[in-house]
A and B are shown apart, each in its own frame.
Chain A
Amino acid sequence: MLDLAAADADSAYAPLGLADPAMAQAQLERVTADLGRMYRERNEALRALARAHHEALLRLSIAAEYRDDDTGVHIVRMGFLAEALALALGQPRSWARLLRMAAPMHDIGKIGVPDSVLKKPGPLTPEERAVMNRHAQMGAEILGTSDVPLFRLASEVAMAHHERFDGGGYPRGLAGIDIPLSGRIVSVVDYFDALTMDRCYRPAIADDTALEMLRRERGRLFDPVVADAFLNNAGQMVALRDRINEHRPQFSALLDDEALPLLGA
């Protein structure tokens, strides 16, 4: 039998085959370079996919929000204020950034609440209240159980943002630090921002009044540590909110990995 490998190595073309160490090295380098290209292209495609998924869910959140507030800016404020509060609490920058992207989806479940309940001018009956309160659970289900950290966090926020520190909230009636930190942060930010925006049924409440109301809910609605972090940084929070209102960033600002420079501290 012919020893093909030996024959090839002996042939006049050996310098062009892998038997030639220089050729083998050069070929390995080409393969490695190609692998690098595919690696970067794969990562870019994954990022684009996650961004498209995030954008679709943000648009759905805005659709839910438009039925309640015709500006949709509340959603943008929620993201940036939640991030600022997380940083004030000493949370890692990466987590705070993730919360900025996740928090705006907290009310996505309102898409499943009928207008007759969501837009009812007067107080809700107990049955209507029960329908309204389902939005937390529905939101968590819409956001789903995902392996992607962003959607896992968003689902956690949707589920937990109406829990109360004293255990009297919904849907699970969790108390204290059994409520995920993300939910404790977003509930504080949501409370303050909802009070200080104009609603169809009342004008905005003054910042000082809203801050005093927040102070009174320490340990009741809110984790005192989280509420204090907001109160101790109230000036910075209000300034951030005002910058957002002034610049009216589009929700795409929430998609980007870095905050808009104009909103930067």
Chain B
Amino acid sequence: MKKILIVEDQPDIRKLIRMTLEFEDYEIHEAADGAFGLRMASAVGPDLMLLDVMMPGELDGLQVCQRIKSDPKLKHIKVVLLTARGQARDREAGQQAGVDDYLVKPFSPLQLIETIDRLVATA
């Protein structure tokens, strides 16, 4: 079963994301901030990480993405960024950080599940 790690600080949104991912058969893990998400990535070895960009704490989603994609042991992990609507700067920065895809909040459940299906099918 493919493993997905959700890194999102808002519990309500995290729950909606988890419920959406449960449409398919995934093993789902959750982290509430960037630093914990990064540690879980090493510990769990997910196939894909869903990263909220705007998170409090020492690491935001972009920084987590950069660390993942520059670590030889982790860079195979697909990364999907969740960005606030209209944040063109997030997209540019995400591209430089090596992100695999973006989704805009409020997220579309079907778009989320289709994006993840497509990315983990090739993972």
Contact = CB atoms under 8 A, between A and B. Distances in A.
Interface of A: 25, 28-29, 32-33, 35-36, 39-40
A36 B25 CA distance: 12
Contacts of A35: 20, 23, 109-110
Contacts of A32: 16, 19-20, 109
A25 B11 CA distance: 11
A83 B71 CA distance: 38
23 contacts: A25-B12, A25-B15, A28-B16, A29-B15, A29-B16, A29-B19, A32-B16, A32-B19, A32-B20, A32-B109, A33-B19, A35-B20, A35-B23, A35-B109, A35-B110, A36-B19, A36-B20, A36-B22, A36-B23, A39-B23, A39-B110, A39-B113, A40-B23
Give the interface size class of chain B. 10 to 19
B10 to A, nearest CB: 10
* Chain A binding surface SS class: helix
A32 B109 CA distance: 8
Contacts of B113: 39
Most buried by A among B16, B20, B23: B23
Given A25-B12, A32-B16, A35-B20, 4 more contacts: A25-B15, A33-B19, A36-B23, A39-B23
Interface in B94-121: 109-110, 113
A92 to B, nearest CB: 11
A176 B3 CA distance: 42
A105 B12 CA distance: 51
A35 B20 CA distance: 8
A40 B113 CA distance: 12
Contacts of A39: 23, 110, 113
A63 to B, nearest CB: 36
